[in-house]
Amino acid sequence: MTSRLDDHAIPPGEMIGILGGGQLGRMLGFAARAMGYRVAVLDPDPACPAAAIADRVVPAPYHSVEGALALAEGCAVVTYELEHVDAALVDAVETAGVPVRPGARALRMTQDRLAERRFVASLGIATAPWREVADDDALLAAADALGFPLRLKAPIGGYDGRGQLRIASRDEVPGSVARLGRPAGTALLVERELDFVAELSVITARAVDGGLAAFPVARNRHDAGILVESVAPAPIPDAIAGAALRIGARVAEALEAVGLVTAELFLLADGTLAVNELAPRVHNSGHWTIDGARTSQFEQHVRAICGLPLGAPAAEGPTAMVNLLGAGEPRDARLEGAAEALADPLVHLHLYDKRRVFERRKMGHLTVAGAADVEEGLARGRAALARLRWA
Ligand code: ATP
Ligand code: MG
């Protein structure tokens, strides 16, 4: 049978370029290599986590147009593991004849939180009530409209809870714009902190022909802005899961993405959903799919960007993922306790091969597949995590 995708397909044997060589690039690279693709990676650090799986590493800053063109040389397609990629860089690579996927529009709409809010609003999808502000006076006026507590967020460059701060009351407003540390006059996003009952995420793959496949919804827990745990399928009513999947599909279509798009959502007490953030890429809350879904998010992304048919996204069963974070002073990374953690045969260890460990750095994750339900999986994951430590 010939698929109608064949015309667009980039066959195995071709080279895939990845902007960013962190853990996402590494796991994307594993999946690409498993399918017979070659992998080139751009990262400022030649010993980045993805270096181990790359045929070629281009050591260059993420915003270097020159570096990106060197990366694209010999590649059939270029993708990215981070959304902070300059439009100029994407233009240069595409002008050189190499498609960048999920695509320029997906980047433009998601790399700036203010643009993202406007985009989500244009689709009629809810977010936390927000305002654009640039100084403390505007912040006070916004606070009058929004109430407290507030979250003040830099529109560009934040991740893992960096680049934002919480404002609990009016007394904390003076000086908060300066405390965020962006140049004076920078437009910032301020939004109401929502008292959510759960955080969810939905990862949707969109193929070259517009076909969609979404992974089951994940339920996530963050600690001080950093993802610590995900379970899937989320134990939520079908109607809520359905609403989350519809948001994911809407967003992936409106972004005209080719590849994966992640939507981070808040589930509110009244059963409604609000979008927190979008990411046109593989996502930490999808790591459970490596061991728990018929197709991993990484393989799915490779299939989509290469113009191949999408794989089945269904969960094999309840799956849990816990992040392994760094602790203590910066030092060479040496993990202890792997044998104890893996004494539970349902546990899988994923380490990112980062050479240095420091407080709260994402170093790896554990998954638990095959437990009776996600809560049991989570308990087993936490127990295994407690047996790991950094020497
Ligand atoms: P990441 O890179 O991990 O997605 P980030 O730096 O992009 O993080 P956000 O996703 O905006 O930051 O926020 C991180 C976490 O902080 C959220 O997942 C949520 O737990 C909490 N948070 C952020 N904004 C709000 C809000 N308006 N109301 C309640 N909680 C919030
Ligand atoms: Mg987030």
Of 212, 265, 213, give the one whose Cα is nearest residue 234: 265
Instruction: Confirm or reject: Cβ of 193 under 6 Å from ligand 1.
Output: yes
Of 381, 344, 343, 376, give the one whose Cα is nearest residue 364: 381
Cβ within 8 Å of residue 302, ≥6 positions away: 16, 28, 31, 32, 35, 37, 308
- In this predicted structure, which of 84-88, 105-109, 181-185, 247-251 has the lowest mean pLDDT? 84-88
How remote is the CA of residue 229 from the centroid of ligand 1, in Å?
A: 14
Q: How far apart are CA 11 and CA 142, in angstroms?
A: 52
Residue 161 clears pLDDT 80, i.e. is over it: no
How remote is the CA of residue 58 from the centroid of ligand 1, in Å?
A: 32
88-138 pLDDT tens trace: 899 999 999 999 999 999 999 999 999 999 999 999 999 999 999 999 999
Return the best residue to mutate from 277, 282, 284 for the ligand 1 pocket (most ligand atoms within 8 A of CB): 277
Residue 3 clears pLDDT 60, i.e. is over it: no
Instruction: Tell me 84's DSSP state.
Output: -
**Confidence band of 1 (pLDDT split at 50, 70, 90):** very low
Instruction: Confirm or reject: Cβ of 94 under 6 Å from ligand 1.
Output: no
Q: Which CATH class is domain 196-390?
A: alpha beta
Return the best residue to mutate from 166, 200, 222, 278 for the ligand 1 pocket (most ligand atoms within 8 A of CB): 222
288-327 pLDDT tens trace: 999 999 999 999 999 999 999 999 999 999 999 999 999 9
Query: According to the model, what pLDDT value does residue 2 have?
Result: 47
Average pLDDT for 253-266: 98
Instruction: Confirm or reject: Cβ of 81 under 6 Å from ligand 1.
Output: no
Average pLDDT for 206-233: 97
Query: According to the model, what pLDDT value does residue 7 have?
Result: 64
CB count within 10 Å of CB 162 equals 10
- Phi/psi class of residue 76: alpha, beta or left (left: φ > 0; alpha: ψ in -120 to 50)? alpha
170-180 pLDDT tens trace: 999 999 999 99
The overall pTM is greater than 0.75: yes
189-198 pLDDT tens trace: 999 999 999 9
| Domain range annotation of the chain | 4-100, 129-192, 196-390
Return the best residue to mutate from 276, 284, 360, 362 for the ligand 1 pocket (most ligand atoms within 8 A of CB): 276
Rg of the chain over Cα atoms, rounded to whole angstroms, equals: 21
Query: According to the model, what pLDDT value does residue 221 have?
Result: 98
Instruction: Confirm or reject: Cβ of 225 under 6 Å from ligand 1.
Output: yes
Report the interhelical angle of 65-72 vs 87-95 (nearest 10°). 40
Instruction: Confirm or reject: Cβ of 83 under 6 Å from ligand 1.
Output: no
Cβ within 8 Å of residue 8, ≥6 positions away: 208, 209, 307
The one-letter amino acid at 273:
L
Q: Which atom of ligand 1 is nearest to the CA of 193?
A: 28
How remote is the CA of residue 11 from the centroid of ligand 1, in Å?
A: 38
Output the residue whose Cα is nearest ligand 1's atom 7: 159
Output the residue whose Cα is nearest ligand 1's atom 31: 193
Q: Which atom of ligand 1 is nearest to the CA of 226?
A: 3
Burial label, 6 (beta-carbon count in 10 A; 0-12, 13-18, 19+): exposed
Q: Which residue has the higher pLDDT, 33 or 84?
A: 33
Instruction: Confirm or reject: Cβ of 109 under 6 Å from ligand 1.
Output: no
Please provide the average confidence, as pLDDT, over all residues in the chain. 96
Q: How far apart are CA 247 and CA 233, in angstroms?
A: 17
Instruction: Confirm or reject: Cβ of 203 under 6 Å from ligand 1.
Output: no
Which CATH code for domain 4-100?
Answer: 3.40.50.20
**Confidence band of 200 (pLDDT split at 50, 70, 90):** very high
**Confidence band of 71 (pLDDT split at 50, 70, 90):** very high
Average pLDDT for 49-69: 96
Instruction: Confirm or reject: Cβ of 198 under 6 Å from ligand 1.
Output: no
Q: Which atom of ligand 1 is nearest to the CA of 227?
A: 3
348-374 pLDDT tens trace: 999 999 999 999 999 999 999 999 999
Average pLDDT for 265-278: 98
Q: To 10 degrees, the CA torsion angle through 304, 307, 312, 314?
A: 10
**Domain with residues 129-192, CATH architecture:** 2-Layer Sandwich (3.30)
Query: According to the model, what pLDDT value does residue 83 have?
Result: 87
